[in-house]
């Protein structure tokens, strides 16, 4: 069941009404049942994977609380790691590694008959296994008291708004919210509704409109000239952003309507001024997960430059592989690893960059009176940095979106000769529409940097209503209602 389907709207309307008319345990039971129904709608057989992951980590949590012996605790946490990564490895990576090994052996004249499983990839497997894994690790580290209520724990693992594509929620953030009944607050409901509409706008209006013109590039790149390819590669970057941040907005908004707070996942990522800044703004819950459960345990930046570079590289390569079982994702991760290492080396030479006072703002604070020229110069430098980084990020997305390595290389190589722009009139309209809509998104994101748009919108219910209604009208007029699945559902 996709968020952008009519079935989901009916499902959520029914669920929402029932949810707020129940209290206590029945409400939790409803949450869990609805979450399993939501997931089972896609393929009920894979519910067993969530149930296994849930029970294993629940029992591991209880056992960790009951055992103080370091050896036993290590075995317990290892069993959680093996189970979760085992599920992930079997369903997601088995065929990839089997085929890669066979190819590698074949290249040196050896042959190995390693069976491939050809399993369907269960939706959201990468997300919920990471959630349960982090729970066990947190309990092992003593950061978290284990949850004794199985119903509560199972609801945390399977909470449907974020089950399939995040944000990746830590148990430390979510379990406390399940301890007591959420109360209906109008402000939360309205704020959540606004986020949901914003999410639908990003998905239906931005991402799916771009998909109409950009997706053909990743099916038949040969039909496009260099200039067309460049335009579509840039648009594709906005498609990925609109698609994924749209999903996150909907997930966060739905949760707020139910009284829950989920962590933010995006913060104007394409206005980032450095690779490190980009990863503070893009898929924040994954990058912080990787930082806390991989990069820091590897040693982080505490053991000298070379080990820091190594740790960054390992983290980003595995981060790339987390997205999908393909060399394209590994290369995508490697590109970001190289960027982060180069940036780190640069920072080591030049000293740390000045951090903006408010994390969301990338623009320097405007001076009182005199230094206006310097202020504009600072803005120009930051925008130039953002533009350069954006260009490299766009190139990296080519590997991310291409089905094969050969196609990614072809797309990049055909961008080099800057030859003609010859889209026929037939195709020009969706392209113009996509470009226009992207410029609206870019404008909105830039305005949010100059003033806090939220503050203006929040001033009056009337303004808020006009704002919300405008989003509804825009979706009706510009939305693409083809039911295109979210890109991140495949992960």
Q: Max alpha carbon distance in the chain (Å)?
A: 74
Cβ–Cβ < 8 Å for 244, 165:
yes
* Interface map 384-423 toward other proteins (x if CB under 8 A): --------------------------------------x-
One of 68, 369, 424, 451 touching other proteins (CB under 8 A): 424
Helix (H) or strand (E) holding 438: helix 425-450
One of 141, 342, 442, 472 touching other proteins (CB under 8 A): 472
Which of 354, 387, 358 is CA-nearest to residue 449? 358
Scan residues 27-66 and list those touching other proteins (CB under 8 A): none
DSSP secondary structure code for residue 330 in this structure:
H
One of 40, 263, 430, 485 touching other proteins (CB under 8 A): 430
Does position 465 interact with other proteins (CB under 8 A)? The reply is: yes
| Catalytic site positions | 323
* CB of 244 vs other proteins, minimal distance in Å: 24
Residues 465, 71: Cα–Cα separation, whole Å: 59
Sign of CA dihedral 360, 488, 164, 42: positive
* Interface map 131-170 toward other proteins (x if CB under 8 A): ----------------------------------------
Token pair recorded at residue 202: 């990003």
Does position 184 interact with other proteins (CB under 8 A)? The reply is: yes
One of 69, 107, 108, 186 touching other proteins (CB under 8 A): 186
Does position 461 interact with other proteins (CB under 8 A)? The reply is: yes
Which of 377, 424, 172, 146 is CA-nearest to residue 288? 172
Q: Which stretch binds other proteins (CB under 8 A): 135-143, 155-163, 400-408, 468-476?
A: 468-476
Cβ–Cβ < 8 Å for 390, 270:
yes
* CB of 195 vs other proteins, minimal distance in Å: 15
Cβ–Cβ < 8 Å for 125, 91:
yes
Scan residues 74-133 and list those touching other proteins (CB under 8 A): none
Does position 476 interact with other proteins (CB under 8 A)? The reply is: yes
* CB of 469 vs other proteins, minimal distance in Å: 5
* CB of 196 vs other proteins, minimal distance in Å: 14
One of 11, 467, 478, 489 touching other proteins (CB under 8 A): 478
Does position 426 interact with other proteins (CB under 8 A)? The reply is: yes
One of 148, 185, 303, 366 touching other proteins (CB under 8 A): 185
Name the burial class of residue 449, with classes exposed (0-12), middle (13-18) and buried (19+) by CB atoms within 10 angstroms of its CB. Answer: middle
Does position 373 interact with other proteins (CB under 8 A)? The reply is: no
Residues 449, 313: Cα–Cα separation, whole Å: 31
Q: Which is nearer to other proteins, 184 or 346 (CB)?
A: 184
* CB of 243 vs other proteins, minimal distance in Å: 19
Which of 211, 340, 215 is CA-nearest to residue 277? 340
Which of 214, 205, 193, 207 is CA-nearest to residue 165? 207
Size of the site for other proteins (CB under 8 A): 31
Gyration radius of the chain over CA positions: 23
Does position 222 interact with other proteins (CB under 8 A)? The reply is: yes
Cβ–Cβ < 8 Å for 293, 285:
no
Q: Which is nearer to other proteins, 152 or 194 (CB)?
A: 194
Sign of CA dihedral 212, 213, 214, 217: positive
Does position 327 interact with other proteins (CB under 8 A)? The reply is: no
Q: What are phi and psi of 382, to 5 degrees?
A: -65, -40
- Residue 438 has a CB neighbour count (10 Å cut-off) of 20
- Which residues make up the interface to other proteins (CB under 8 A)? 183-188, 222, 422, 424-426, 429-430, 432-433, 458-462, 465, 468-469, 472-473, 476-479, 481-482
């Amino acid at each position: 069941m996709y968020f952008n389907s009519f079935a989901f709207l009916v499902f959520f309307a029914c669920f929402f009404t029932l949810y707020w008319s129940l209290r206590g345990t029945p409400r939790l039971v409803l949450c869990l049942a609805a979450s399993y129904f939501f997931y089972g709608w896609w393929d009920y057989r894979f519910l067993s994977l969530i149930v296994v992951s849930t029970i294993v980590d629940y029992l591991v949590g209880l056992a960790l609380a009951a055992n103080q012996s370091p050896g036993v605790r290590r075995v317990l946490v290892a069993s959680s790691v093996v189970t979760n990564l085992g599920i992930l490895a079997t369903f997601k990576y088995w065929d990839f590694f089997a085929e890669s090994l066979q190819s590698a052996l074949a290249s040196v004249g050896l042959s190995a008959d390693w069976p491939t499983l050809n399993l369907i990839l269960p939706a959201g497997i990468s997300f919920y296994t990471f959630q349960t894994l982090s729970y066990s690790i947190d309990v092992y580290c003593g950061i978290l008291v284990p949850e004794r209520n199985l119903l509560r724990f199972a609801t945390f693992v399977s909470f449907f708004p974020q089950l399939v594509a995040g944000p990746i929620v830590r148990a430390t953030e979510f379990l406390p919210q399940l301890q007591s009944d959420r109360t209906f607050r109008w402000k939360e409901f309205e704020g959540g509704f606004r986020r949901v509409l914003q999410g639908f706008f990003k998905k239906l209006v931005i991402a799916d409109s771009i998909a109409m013109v950009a997706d053909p590039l990743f099916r038949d790149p040969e039909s496009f000239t260099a200039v067309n390819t460049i335009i579509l590669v840039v648009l594709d970057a906005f498609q990925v952003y609109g698609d994924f941040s749209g999903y996150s907005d909907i997930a966060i908004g739905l949760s707020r309507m139910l009284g829950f707070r989920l962590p933010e996942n995006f913060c104007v990522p394409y206005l980032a001024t450095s690779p490190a800044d980009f990863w503070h703004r893009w898929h924040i819950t994954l990058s912080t997960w990787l930082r806390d459960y991989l990069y820091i345990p590897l040693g982080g930046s505490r053991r000298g430059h070379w080990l820091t570079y190594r740790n960054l590289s390992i983290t980003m390569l595995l981060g790339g592989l987390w997205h999908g079982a393909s060399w394209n994702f590994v290369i995508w991760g490697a590109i970001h690893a190289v960027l982060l290492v180069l940036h780190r080396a640069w920072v080591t030479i030049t000293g740390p960059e000045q951090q903006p006072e408010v994390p969301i703002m990338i623009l320097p604070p405007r001076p009182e009176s005199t230094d206006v020229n310097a202020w504009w110069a600072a803005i120009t430098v930051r925008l130039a940095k953002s533009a350069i980084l954006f260009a490299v990020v766009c190139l990296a997305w080519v590997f991310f979106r291409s089905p094969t390595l050969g196609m990614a290389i072809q797309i990049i190589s055909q961008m080099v000769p800057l030859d003609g722009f010859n889209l026929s009139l037939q195709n020009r309209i969706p392209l113009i529409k996509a470009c226009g809509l992207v410029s609206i998104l870019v404008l909105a994101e830039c305005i949010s940097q100059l003033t806090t748009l939220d503050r203006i919108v929040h001033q009056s219910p009337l303004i808020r209503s006009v704002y919300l209604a405008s989003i509804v009208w825009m979706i009706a007029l510009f939305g693409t209602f083809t039911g295109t699945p979210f890109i991140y559902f495949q992960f």
